[in-house]
Structure 1
Amino acid sequence: MWLGDVRIHARADTSTPLFVGVAATSDVDGYLGDVSRDTLRDFRVGRAVLRTTDGGAPATPPSDQTFWVAQAIGTDATLTWDLEDGDWTIVLMRADGTTGVSADVSTGAEPAHPRRRGRGPLRPRRPVPAGRRPAHRHPGRSATRRQQ
């Protein structure tokens, strides 16, 4: 897997708390089956491309569900999740389940290289002076020499 932690930050445009959650797609599909919603399909030239599904409100607030593997609630909510293999869906909705979400959302992820995990931040390699070879090579890294 090439991604480690995934972060989703949502800041509400109103005083209504937001819910941000991650769950298996099959669980989200069951929960949101007949619920009115917009689904992000693409992002083009700074604009979200949404698919609208008509329906009603959810029977219960999202935080009442037990299937979320990660969740955050608040007017300034940040969810951090260690990405796992599987089919996952991220949900952003009002914490009380009512319609009308308005928020600024940002996302981010950290790379997770199996050999780097738990070793701290990546550090840049020292440059190899022209005309000299590196003393050793690391598997998966390349070393080059520039001809002058």
Structure 2
Amino acid sequence: MKKLIIAALLVVGMTSFAQNKKEMGTRHDRAEMEKFTPEQRNQLMLKKMTLELDLNASQQKEMAKVIAENSAKREARMKEMKANKDSNTKPTSDEMFARKNRMLDEQIAMKERMRKILNPEQFKKWEDMKGKRHHGMKKRMMHHNDGKPVNMDDKK
């Protein structure tokens, strides 16, 4: 009986350890990316896009500009969100509307810029990559919400 209990505890312990290791992998990757400077992150993103979309030299130059601009905007938004969180102020519905409206305008502008930089085949592949990334984000959000469906547009 004693051996059975010890064996059961070992199985449960190993199972939970294996699950934690899987989750730690994604967190570890994210932590590694945060250690890089913004320029290094931009360079890595550009190289990844070059490999996936087979960008030529002129496309790489244009994409480097786009990535740098997006990175700067993202950093500014992160600082703004952190300041709001630290001051415990909740945005009004008008501010939320303005923020969502601005984000959608930026997405439209980004799509148009990408359409000008990439050829039609590359653009389609970029759209597919974006869709997969969005799907992965939704899946991660669901995992953190105990399996309940999450509408990413209705985040609190």
Normalised by the shorter chain, which TM-score bucket?
A: under 0.3
Task: Say which structure, 1 or 2, has more relative contact order (CA 8 Å, 6+ apart).
Answer: 1
- Which structure carries more helix by proportion? 2
| TM-score (structure 2 length as normaliser) | 0.21
| TM-score (structure 1 length as normaliser) | 0.21
